[in-house]
Amino acid sequence: MDYFVILLLAGLSALFVAGGLITSRLLAPSNPGPVKNSPYECGELPIGHAWVQYNVGYYLFGLLFLAFDVEAAFLYPWAVAFRDVGLAGFIEVVIFLFVLIVGLIYAWRKGVLEWV
């Protein structure tokens, strides 16, 4: 019964969003053309293709950032509850940090952190 209100509000929210999308689809005029289908370039005519290939280094660097960002998100609650978790919690965090440091060393040796 405690979660009934939350589920009800989530369902009503989904219906509200779906209703808006359906109403927009039914009432909006549809006249596609080459000008409307072209990508918007701040009022300028588009030059070249919209598909641009990025260097894989950006992808790998982004994955590293994501891993260490999640690490920071996990360490904040642990730091707040440091006195309550005891020795077992401390050992778990040390193992967690050890795995991350091993991953960082691996990425460093593979050259992910070098921008050449």
Q: Angle at Cα 70 formed by Cα 68 and Cα 75, nearest 5°?
A: 90
- In a domain, residue 85? The reply is yes
Number of neighbouring beta carbons within 10 Å of residue 60 = 15
Mean pLDDT of 76-94: 89
Residue whose structure tokens are 């050449």: 116
Q: Is residue 25 part of a domain?
A: yes
Neighbours of 66 (CB within 10 A): 10
d(CA 59, CA 55): 7
15 in any annotated domain = yes
When the pLDDT of each residue in the chain is averaged and rounded to a whole number, the result is 86
Q: 115 lies in a domain?
A: no
Residue 116 is assigned to a structural domain of this protein: no
The phi and psi torsions of 32 (rounded to 5 degrees) equal -70, 150
Number of domains in the chain: 1
Out of 27-31, 100-104, 110-114, give the one with best mean pLDDT: 100-104
State residue 23's pLDDT score. 96
For residue 55, the domain's CATH number is: 1.20.58.1610
- Give the domain range for residue 37: 4-110
The tens digit of pLDDT for each residue in 10-28 reads: 999 999 999 999 999 999 8
If you average pLDDT over residues 54-59, what whole number do you get? Answer: 78
> In what helix (H) or strand (E) does residue 60 lie, and over which residues does it extend?
helix 56-80
